[in-house]
Structures are given as structure tokens and as C-alpha cells.
């Protein structure tokens, strides 16, 4: 059976903010991708950013510099 790895999920209140996150991450080469919000979480817009947990500090820096406002940050 396949074992689940921990993953970092960043949720957003609006689709605009999720798309802004994607644009900023692509611009600086930050890891991750947009995914639908996992069932275990509820979020405003239905989109979230998926990345490895060890990328948390880097993504927080990208969000701060890019004026991206996350709703919540989860490790699942």
C-alpha cells in the first residue's frame, strides 16, 4: 500500500489570491502547484497551493514579498 507523505497546503479566501500565489511562485521559481482544496480542509475559494513541508519558510517569504495573503497554512 502506498504511504502518504506529509504535504504543505496553503489555502486562500479568494481565487484572485490563489492565482496571485501561482504567479508569484512561478516568477521566482518557488516550488508547488495549485490544487483543489483537500476534503479534510475547508477554504473560501476552493483552491490551495501544494508543496513539500520543508518549503514552508520559502513560501512564506514569497507570500510576504508578493503581498499574497493566505487564509491558512496546513501540514497534512
Measured CA to CA, the distance from residue 22 to residue 2 in angstroms comes to: 29
- State the CATH class of domain 8-75: alpha beta
* Mean pLDDT value across residues 38-63: 94
The predicted pLDDT at position 33 comes to 98
42 is written with which cell numbers?
475547508
pLDDT(62) > 80: yes
Exposure b/e, 8-44, CB count within 10 A at least 16 = b: bbbbbeeeebbebbbebbeeeebebebeebeeeeebe
Is the pLDDT reported for residue 43 higher than 80?
no
Residue that the C-alpha cell 504535504 belongs to:
7
Chain segment 10-34, per-residue pLDDT in tens = 999 999 999 999 999 999 999 999 9
The residues spanned by each domain of the chain are 8-75
pLDDT, mean over the chain: 95
Amino acid at each position: 500500500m502506498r504511504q502518504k507523505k506529509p504535504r504543505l497546503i496553503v489555502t486562500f479566501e479568494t481565487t484572485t489570491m490563489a492565482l496571485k500565489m501561482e504567479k508569484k511562485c512561478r516568477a521566482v521559481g518557488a516550488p508547488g502547484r495549485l490544487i483543489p482544496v483537500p476534503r479534510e480542509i475547508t477554504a473560501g475559494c476552493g483552491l490551495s497551493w501544494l508543496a513539500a513541508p520543508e518549503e514552508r519558510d520559502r513560501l512564506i517569504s514569497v507570500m510576504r514579498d508578493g503581498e499574497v495573503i493566505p487564509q491558512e497554512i496546513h501540514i497534512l
